Chain A
Amino acid sequence: MALLPRLRRFAHGLSRNSADADDLTQATIERALRSREQWQEGTRLDSWSYRIMRNLWIDTARSQSRRAVREAPEEEGLAVGEDPRDAMDAAVDLRRIMSAMSRLPDEQREIVALILVEGFGYREVSEMLGLPIGTVSSRLVRGRTALLAMVGEQ
């Protein structure tokens, strides 16, 4: 299975819009190629690549998205008011969900993306991020609860 499409999906889980997500994906590929000697045979390539992406996001994209959130409150207000039942088109819903996820605190957003979108287990995420499993679990509870409140399922 090719890893690139999955990394792109993860980038969308972290980023505020598709353009930022593809920039992040490209930066991740470049970083991974430059540091490929550091990857250890026998360890999972996907976890290693996801970790590179997450660290890059922390370094750069995260501060950009913070700025973007402050600069674009109106657009978000519009998205929140729409009825999710009208959102038959996945692309429309994707934008709404990305917007909601971008308002989660970063440490919750990355865990929601890794577990609920990418399908990793708690233990895998705990190892990937170097966090105690209890921390992963509690951030996931807060993140998904806030997300549900924002995208409002009836």
Chain B
Amino acid sequence: MSISTSDAILLAHAAFGITGCLAALWVFVETLNAQPENAGRIRIAALLTALSVAGAWICGGYWYVHFYPAEKALILQGPWPFAHNLFMETKEHLFFITAILAFLLPVIIRDKLYSSAAARKLVLSVAALIVITALALEGAGAVIEHGAKLALLRGGAKGTQ
């Protein structure tokens, strides 16, 4: 088995992303039943969300700058050029929205959620937006990788003819 640096960084990017998504879901569930007793868990989950998304940004950004240009050229020559033109172009900018929301979360959970309906509503909204946008990013990542796979399969099929 051979796992290259590029593979490890890309897998770490996806792993950090899904961890951030699950941590935001954890914040959402804890906030539904916010009490003084679970304030600590909400803080931990919010911090985990922010750190995971920061990790996804660093790994994804490094991979995008150093390894993606070759894959981009491959996708654009393949049968699914929209995997780059639509999905990657949207993903690379939508990610910043998810990141802002993730960095906002540890700030807004400092309000006393158990005694503030307005703060609870805000935290529930931000956590839900992180989950929804993160799932969209994960889905876009799958389409981009499938675009590269189809391009390679087509190239491979041509090579065998």
Partners in one complex: no
Residues of chain A touching chain B, judged by Cβ–Cβ distance below 8 Å, are none
Residues of chain B touching chain A, judged by Cβ–Cβ distance below 8 Å, are none
